Amino acid sequence: MAPLAHTFDPTILREYDVRGIVGETLSAADAYALGRSLGTIAVEEGGSTACVGRDGRLSSPELEAALVQGLADCGLAVTRVGCGPSPMLYFAAVTSKADVAVAVTGSHNPPSHNGFKMMRRGKPFFGADIRRLGEIAAAGAWAKGQGSVVEAPARAAYVARILEDWDGGERGLTVVWDAGNGAAGEVMADVAAALPGRHVLLNAAIDGTFPAHHPDPTDPATLEQLIAAVQAEGADIGIAFDGDGDRIGVVDGQGRILWGDQILQILAEDLLKTRPGATIIADVKASRALFDEVARMGGQPLMGRTGHSLIKTLMAETGAPLAGEMSGHIFFADRWYGFDDALYTAVRLLGILARMEEPLAARFDRMPRLVNTPELRFDCAEDRKFSVIQAVKDRLAAEGAEVNTIDGVRVNALGGWWLLRASNTQAVLVARAEAPDATTLDALMATLRGHLEAAGVAAPETVG
């Protein structure tokens, strides 16, 4: 007999998704209740269909089965698209026009974690929508019905559609791919097999214990195996994916890491040849060099708030064909569907490289060089982090500083900038700075540290 109501652990209902530790804050009962609550919203809006996919974590089959049952018990016709990257689920949902869609995935989090990423009618489902799931579950105000469940693996159609947009001709590159044993592995292998050139696959087997390394391409330590293989193979490029295949990592033929804004710069240059004047969006953490380069190349640079759901929403509002985040989320609405998809991005990037007269390493050498910090993250209590940002914002306003407040504070000073923002998903503050030279960077970080201390925060040694 189905439960009459359900209370989620308050820590799992995040801004952009639902995430928890399996057996501690997240269980199959939560997955069932999530299905009932999301299904209820779909039914309220006249919907009748749902798509569900999952990653390769050991807990995902059980959670996916409970979620599917919850959706079906609301009366929805549920399509199970199988194990694969989150973008495969997004693709299936958009092309089938499903009313709601859920990827069961822990993304790049540790093996003990899992969660759910959701869509509604092809658009992001986040913020207040996720909070409403908790309200519906707590009240037990669930729709009731007898739905249906069908198995319809989406992998072959997804791979075929990605390959439709290959535009690199027959030139063969040497490419090293690393799925990190994440959900992108099988699709990665299919795509690589269909492309010209020589392809070396690392960690393509889906394994929820992630035996090789943690699947997070924003962490340089996770790219060490890829870098070594690129150098050993004399490859043109190395490509890495996170645990659910929506974020990309790239290294050039010399083993140097290209960060999200640098990848976006190459993609934007190519896109602006066919779509001159197009809006290109990057998040608030991106380098000034990217925004300057987009403008120089004839595009319209636009700074957006960090967060994949927020970026997707801004793309839809502005009609931007391309967007990206420092975290490696890249979004194409040019020939694609506007969601973040690392496998599709990889194929578009390889197509560009195949048409370029110079190697990726040479293109990287031509990029404007500024000195910057990595993303610095440090703990700050959930109930304090936003008040700290407000205190810094007030102090900057009193000083008459040049500040962008779209997402925290990004302060222009001394020919560079520094950023302080509160994470929407964790009890942390995030800082970053960029300057023309190391001396100026030190000065900017010292200023940032001073503002933190004035707001009552003991800044860690990594800041300033």
Handedness of CA 101, 103, 108, 111 (dihedral sign): positive
- Token reading at 77: 């016709």
User: Could you tell me if residue 335 is left (phi over 0), alpha (psi between -120 and 50 degrees) or otherwise beta?
Assistant: left
What confidence score (pLDDT) does residue 15 get?
85
Domains delineated in the chain: 18-153 (3.40.120.10), 157-365 (3.40.120.10), 371-454 (3.30.310.50)
Q: How far is CA 317 from CA 118, 242, 320, 429, in A?
A: 20, 28, 8, 28
Angle at 271 between CA 269 and CA 273, to 5 degrees: 75
What confidence score (pLDDT) does residue 462 get?
65
What confidence score (pLDDT) does residue 49 get?
98
DSSP string, 3-37: -S-----TTSB-SSSEEEEBTTTB-HHHHHHHHHH
Closest by Cα among 312, 334, 344 to 122 = 312
Q: Is 236:196 a contact under the CB 8 Å cutoff?
A: no
What confidence score (pLDDT) does residue 310 get?
92
Q: How far is CA 43 from CA 35, 46, 107, in A?
A: 12, 5, 28
Amino acid (1-letter code) at residue 193: A
Active site members: 107
Global pTM reads 0.94
Residues of the chain with pLDDT under 70: 1, 460, 462-464
Q: How far is CA 217 from CA 58, 99, 177, 289, in A?
A: 21, 32, 12, 22
What confidence score (pLDDT) does residue 375 get?
86
Q: List, for residues 97-134, the tens digit of each pLDDT value.
A: 999 999 999 998 899 999 999 999 999 999 999 999 99
